[in-house]
Amino acid sequence: MRKYVSPSLLIIFFILSAAGHYAHWPATLQFIISAVAVIFVAGFLGKATESVAHYAGQRLGGFLNATFGNAAELIIGILLVREGLFDMVKASITGSIIGNLLLVLGLSLFAGGLKHKIQRYNISLAGMNGSLMIVAIIALFVPAIFLQTHVLHEEDRTALSLVVAGILIASYLLWLVFSMITHKDYLADVTEAGKGADNGAAAETDSIALATAGGSHELPPAWSKGKSITYLVLATVMVAFVSEWLVGTLDTFTERFGLSEIFVGAFVVAIVGNAAEHSAAILLAMKNKIGASVEIAVGSSLQIALFVAPVLIFVSHLFGRPMDIVFTVIELAAIGVSVFIAKSITQDGQTNWYEGLLLIAVYAILGVSFYLV
Amino acid sequence: MRKYVSPSLLIIFFILSAAGHYAHWPATLQFIISAVAVIFVAGFLGKATESVAHYAGQRLGGFLNATFGNAAELIIGILLVREGLFDMVKASITGSIIGNLLLVLGLSLFAGGLKHKIQRYNISLAGMNGSLMIVAIIALFVPAIFLQTHVLHEEDRTALSLVVAGILIASYLLWLVFSMITHKDYLADVTEAGKGADNGAAAETDSIALATAGGSHELPPAWSKGKSITYLVLATVMVAFVSEWLVGTLDTFTERFGLSEIFVGAFVVAIVGNAAEHSAAILLAMKNKIGASVEIAVGSSLQIALFVAPVLIFVSHLFGRPMDIVFTVIELAAIGVSVFIAKSITQDGQTNWYEGLLLIAVYAILGVSFYLV
Amino acid sequence: MRKYVSPSLLIIFFILSAAGHYAHWPATLQFIISAVAVIFVAGFLGKATESVAHYAGQRLGGFLNATFGNAAELIIGILLVREGLFDMVKASITGSIIGNLLLVLGLSLFAGGLKHKIQRYNISLAGMNGSLMIVAIIALFVPAIFLQTHVLHEEDRTALSLVVAGILIASYLLWLVFSMITHKDYLADVTEAGKGADNGAAAETDSIALATAGGSHELPPAWSKGKSITYLVLATVMVAFVSEWLVGTLDTFTERFGLSEIFVGAFVVAIVGNAAEHSAAILLAMKNKIGASVEIAVGSSLQIALFVAPVLIFVSHLFGRPMDIVFTVIELAAIGVSVFIAKSITQDGQTNWYEGLLLIAVYAILGVSFYLV
């Protein structure tokens, strides 16, 4: 990851990629250009996020990054729902969740852990994240098991999906109230622990925070607050476009190499579509801002599960083609095992390179399984 | 929840409710009177529990409350077993477990959390509770999975149920030895932590305990120790009676509104039958005695799973109509997800309003699913 | 467990057991002699392990013990694979994992907990162990669920098994790098905590370590470092031989008492084959070296799941009879519940007698279920 992204190369590859997409250049050429463009815009996004995080604190910065990152996924999801491609939507939701929880988080922990022996972040946030993940998997698992053991009328099936989706959206909005307003300091980053005096967990990590702060001697970011935010929005939009252009070239590959739709949806789309989160999270982890990395990776998958997925269900009703909340058995299994290993690894608020590697190992097991099916 | 329960209103509504039940008044009238009576007797029970807890300590008080609360459930269970209504028994056991773990605990954490930012209780107790919950779900899950994949003779099926039930009862009795005798101080309430000097976990929470103790300036309870215990027993008996009278009116509603037996067993009966635990646990949580709240909610569901349910299996053999330990898939799923989310939320020994809300969200998802089936 | 093992009795019973095996004495006589011999050699192994642990530290000592203990299992496994007895191999792998996680760990915690109120060990190691267990169960669960819901070509089935096995072996080897090299002090025993100054978790347990060290006044071991290691190797080899001779007598019992192969594989073989781990782990727990006990029990089951089992899959290809990684539903259920309860109990780094008892209770439930099937 270069520290300085060349603005001219960024713009050139972005325009080339757009030209390739709209002028229908050969798929292989489109693919190569878009892939290079993704690397540049993702680098740009990473730098903008880092700059915003400097002003906003690690967690808010991470949240902003996750949200902008998922805006692209939401838009792509709406387009797929409009065309009735429900299996592809669910595969890509599955892929986004496991991609963030296993690959993004895994690479962040691994890269950060190679540079820093032990990385710590707020243990209360780790616990809350774990509980939210459990709620997300319960919300997907309960309708599936009830519908597999009992026959329901079509309207009851729809009602069940809508109610569960509504509960998830309400839970997510209240989570924002909790984490951003009522308990902001309780979940504060370790490096800001000194501020949160009435917080037992924060006090405990105080000495670490001082040590970290003393060791890093960060330079002020190159951009002002306003410029950083503008660039963050701009970079996110660019990532969304380039990702979509890149995804557009994948159909050809799917056919040419005989890959299944579920594998492409759950792995290729998820890896490419989350390039922004990838680069930002890994960059922050290597700078020992593991709290922001976790916020991006875990926060992003929670946002997909608790907000993007249920919103798509409501959107499908607006289009008059109701999509239910029932995922396939292997999608549920993939999300379930991802949640369990991610929860086990994040819950102590301490990370190291080997924990990152374990997440990648589980991702590899799932990848091979989806590939062979 | 009023601080002072009017004794005359309490007695009047109790007698009216009894009259309505035995004189067979119209079901709707019976229902309204009994529902009001439940509120009064539950308030009375809450006050008595609080008073006993003052003398006995939070945990013993919570245990007494859970036991008296479950006495009612045990009696109702025995009556249902005698009539061979095994499905209703299992649905109501399921409902009691998830009702306590999700609704009672959820409302307690929510109400307590709105008043107090972070509430803490003994983390060692949280860990032990979590392990006991896992054992309970294993004891229900293992026979179910073995019997679903293999065909067993009737006598082997019976033997399996009895052996597992025996192991659970033995585990529960030894848990009482552990928690009340050999490791009483290890699991002591946070506010009593100063006493348990040889305990690392207690020492850690010491300063919190002092802060809490300094802040509350509790008035001595209105009743003497003896009077408090007498009132606790009396209130529990009254709750048991009024709950049963109220449940008696529900059959009519089940038919009139077309509700399934499993929904009524698992939700309506469980909510009404646990009114006592509800009111006591919430009242204590609002007074920042979250340790006692958790003891009531979690302790009560553990008592149902590890003691009441296996005892009912043995009782069924006394009646000559053996009931096995095999629950339905959706009952197992409901208990399983309840245990996972409750364990995830309670395991750090810290609670807040949002955690209560997550428990209620899961309860709502299960409620809708059971309602639609 | 005697403190001093009589060398002459040890040698006599070892030779008698060998004679009985190779001269084909009556099965019952062979069984009795071998069982007595196992007790003596296991005692010898326990003493050698303890002596090596004194020189090497608890964790390395525990690791050595687990490795030597599993060498026997690996050899027996290879013999069974060569004869194509795949069901027996998988049953015995299942039995080894649950036997170590539930019986060995359970008895250690119980025996240690009766003598010492609360026993503590490194909480970071507890967390890593838990995550590794989760990865092990995921690696067994994912292929099973994918193959149950989808039909795969024979070559894809083989590829999936080999890839997953390769990932597990790589994860295990890197775990050795992590735990023995890069993060050795991070996972250090509680009693060595004073040495690991840059480690937060270690610092926290410092006072406990001093208290423990002050209280025990250990005598120096009877053997030198070199002699201890030689005896450890010798004792392990003897245990391996005697275990196999004992196992050889079990066929007769299986037929005579009508036990199923899966029960014999998962329980009888596992208990006898792990006699060495049993005695060493319990002995160390009673001497308050609970860290070494956990390392033996949990480390041994991790070694079986992450190393022995996948190596056997590769070995089966060398013999030209490919064994897949797909376990039966009840084997997966047994391993799954064992991992969940063991993780729940070990994750706080504190143990007591009741936690040991809960593990034994789950082992008993599984034992009865396997016996009746």
SS (H, E, C) C196-213: CCCCHHHHHCHHHHHHHH
- Residue C149 forms contact with A (CB below 8 Å): yes
- Write the DSSP symbol of residue B287: T
Measured between CB atoms, which of A118, A120, A357 is closest to C186? A118
pLDDT at C110: 94
Measured between CB atoms, which of C128, C132, C164 is closest to A365? C164
Least-confidence region, from A296-310, B233-247, C186-200, C289-303: C186-200
The answer to whether C359 touches B180, Cβ cutoff 8 Å, is: no
Looking at per-residue pLDDT, the higher value among C219 and A103 belongs to A103
- Highest averaged pLDDT of the listed ranges A144-148, A329-333, C49-53, C146-150: A329-333
Q: Is residue A53 part of a domain?
A: yes
Q: Is residue C2 part of a domain?
A: no
pLDDT at C201: 39
pLDDT at A355: 94
* Burial of B165: CB neighbours in 10 Å, binned 0-12, 13-18, 19+: buried
- Structure confidence at residue A202 as a pLDDT band (50, 70, 90): very low
The CATH number of the domain holding residue C25 is: 1.20.1420.30
- Residue A160 forms contact with B (CB below 8 Å): yes
Q: Is residue B225 part of a domain?
A: yes
Beta bridge partners of A119: A351
- Structure confidence at residue C59 as a pLDDT band (50, 70, 90): low
- Give tens-digit pLDDT for B176-185: 888 878 887 7
pLDDT at A216: 40
Minimal C-alpha gap between B324 and chain C (Å)? 14
Contact A365 C178 (CB under 8 A): no
Span C128-142, average pLDDT: 93
Residue A277 has pLDDT above 70, yes or no: no
Q: For residues C52, C58, C61 and C65, what is the CA-based torsion angle, rounded to 10 degrees?
A: 120
* Burial of A206: CB neighbours in 10 Å, binned 0-12, 13-18, 19+: middle
pLDDT at A17: 92
* Domain with C276 in it: 7-371
- Residue A203 forms contact with C (CB below 8 Å): no
- For residue A174, the chain B residues in CB contact (below 8 A) are 354, 357
- For residue A127, the chain B residues in CB contact (below 8 A) are 344, 347-348, 350
- For residue C164, the chain A residues in CB contact (below 8 A) are 365, 368
Question: CA-to-CA distance for A161 and B97, rounded, in angstroms?
Answer: 25
Q: For residues C362, C368, C372 and C373, what is the CA-based torsion angle, rounded to 10 degrees?
A: 20
Residue A215 has pLDDT above 50, yes or no: no
Residue B310 has pLDDT above 80, yes or no: yes
Q: Is residue C309 part of a domain?
A: yes
Beta bridge partners of B350: B120
Contact A183 B117 (CB under 8 A): yes
Span B192-197, average pLDDT: 39
The answer to whether A218 touches A240, Cβ cutoff 8 Å, is: no
Ramachandran assignment for B322, one of left (phi > 0), alpha (psi -120 to 50 degrees), beta (any other): beta
The answer to whether A69 touches A273, Cβ cutoff 8 Å, is: no
Domains in chain A: how many in total? 1
- Residue C47 forms contact with A (CB below 8 Å): no
Question: CA-to-CA distance for C104 and C303, rounded, in angstroms?
Answer: 15
Looking at per-residue pLDDT, the higher value among B336 and C58 belongs to B336
**Tokens 């023995």 found at:** C180
Looking at per-residue pLDDT, the higher value among B191 and C303 belongs to C303
Q: Coil, helix or strand for C150?
A: coil
Contact A361 C134 (CB under 8 A): no
Question: CA-to-CA distance for B17 and A74, rounded, in angstroms?
Answer: 55
For the whole model, what pTM was predicted?
Answer: 0.83
DSSP letters spanning B45-70: HHHHHHHHHHHH-HHHHHHHHHHHHH
pLDDT at B152: 78
Q: From B215, B213, B232, B214, select the one nearest B223 (Cα to Cα).
A: B232
pLDDT at B206: 35
Beta-strand relationship, B350-351 and C119-120:
unpaired
pLDDT at B316: 93
Residue C172 has pLDDT above 60, yes or no: yes
pLDDT at B66: 66
pLDDT at C307: 92
Measured between CB atoms, which of C127, C128, C163 is closest to A368? C163
pLDDT at B108: 92
- For residue B362, the chain A residues in CB contact (below 8 A) are 135, 138
- Give tens-digit pLDDT for C180-214: 788 877 777 655 433 333 343 333 333 333 333 33
Minimal C-alpha gap between C164 and chain A (Å)? 6
- Structure confidence at residue A122 as a pLDDT band (50, 70, 90): confident
- Give tens-digit pLDDT for C260-273: 777 877 777 677 66
Beta bridge partners of A266: none
- Structure confidence at residue B14 as a pLDDT band (50, 70, 90): very high
Span B107-124, average pLDDT: 89
Question: CA-to-CA distance for C373 and B150, rounded, in angstroms?
Answer: 7
Question: CA-to-CA distance for B356 and C301, rounded, in angstroms?
Answer: 37
Residue A197 has pLDDT above 50, yes or no: no
Minimal C-alpha gap between C13 and chain A (Å)? 45
Quick one: closest CA in A to C137, which residue? A337
pLDDT at A61: 67
The answer to whether B322 touches B316, Cβ cutoff 8 Å, is: yes
Minimal C-alpha gap between B178 and chain C (Å)? 7
Q: Is residue A178 part of a domain?
A: yes
Quick one: closest CA in B to C354, which residue? B178
Kindly report the number of other CB atoms within 10 A of residue C176's CB atom: 11
Beta-strand relationship, B350-351 and B119-120:
antiparallel
Span B228-253, average pLDDT: 81
HSE at residue B159, side-chain half, CA atoms within 13 A, is 12
* Burial of A23: CB neighbours in 10 Å, binned 0-12, 13-18, 19+: exposed
pLDDT at B191: 52
- For residue A124, the chain B residues in CB contact (below 8 A) are 348, 350
Residue C237 has pLDDT above 90, yes or no: no
Looking at per-residue pLDDT, the higher value among B144 and C221 belongs to B144
* Burial of B220: CB neighbours in 10 Å, binned 0-12, 13-18, 19+: exposed
Residue A196 has pLDDT above 90, yes or no: no
pLDDT at C289: 87
Q: Which amino acid type is present at position B357?
A: L
Least-confidence region, from A155-169, B231-245, C64-78, C127-141: C64-78
Contact C344 B127 (CB under 8 A): yes
SS (H, E, C) chain A: CCCCCCHHHHHHHHHHHHHHHHCCCCHHHHHHHHHHHHHHHHHHHHHHHHHHHHHHCHHHHHHHHHHHHHHHHHHHHHHHHHCCCHHHHHHHHHHHHHHHHHHHHHHHHHHHHHHCCCEECCHHHHHHHHHHHHHHHHHHHHHHHHHHHCCCCHHHHHHHHHHHHHHHHHHHHHHHHHHHHHCCCCCCCHHHHHHCCCCHHHHHCHHHHHHHHHHHCCCCCCCCHHHHHHHHHHHHHHHHHHHHHHHHCHHHHHHHHCCCHHHHHHHHHHHHHCHHHHHHHHHHHHCCCHHHHHHHHHHHHHHHHHHHHHHHHHHHHHCCCCCCCCCCHHHHHHHHHHHHHHHHHHCCCEECHHHHHHHHHHHHHHHHHHHHC
* Burial of C71: CB neighbours in 10 Å, binned 0-12, 13-18, 19+: middle
Q: Is residue C53 part of a domain?
A: yes
Residue C1 has pLDDT above 60, yes or no: no
Between A and B, how many residue pairs show a Cβ–Cβ distance under 8 A?
A: 95
Looking at per-residue pLDDT, the higher value among C194 and C54 belongs to C54
Looking at per-residue pLDDT, the higher value among C39 and A357 belongs to A357
- Residue C211 forms contact with A (CB below 8 Å): no
Residue B3 has pLDDT above 90, yes or no: no
- Residue B259 forms contact with A (CB below 8 Å): no
Looking at per-residue pLDDT, the higher value among B141 and B122 belongs to B141
Least-confidence region, from A316-330, B161-175, C221-235, C302-316: C221-235
- Residue A180 forms contact with B (CB below 8 Å): no
ipTM over 0.90: no
Contacts of C251 (CB under 8 A, 6+ apart): none
The answer to whether A33 touches A266, Cβ cutoff 8 Å, is: no
Burial C33-62 (b: 16+ CB within 10 A, else e): bbbbbbbbbbbbbbbbbbbbbbebbbbbbb
**Tokens 């364990």 found at:** B343
Question: Could you tell me what percentage of chain B is helix, strand and coil, using 3-state DSSP and rounding each to the nearest 5?
Answer: 80, 0, 20
Contact B365 A130 (CB under 8 A): no
Q: Is residue A215 part of a domain?
A: yes
- Give tens-digit pLDDT for A29-60: 888 888 788 778 877 877 887 788 778 776 67
Question: CA-to-CA distance for B352 and B355, rounded, in angstroms?
Answer: 6
- Residue B160 forms contact with C (CB below 8 Å): yes
- Give tens-digit pLDDT for B197-223: 334 333 333 333 333 333 344 556 678
- Residue B247 forms contact with A (CB below 8 Å): no
- Write the DSSP symbol of residue C191: G
Q: Is residue A2 part of a domain?
A: no
Beta bridge partners of B120: B350
Burial B62-71 (b: 16+ CB within 10 A, else e): bbbbbebbbb
pLDDT at C124: 85
Span B113-122, average pLDDT: 87
Residue A217 has pLDDT above 50, yes or no: no
- Structure confidence at residue C276 as a pLDDT band (50, 70, 90): low
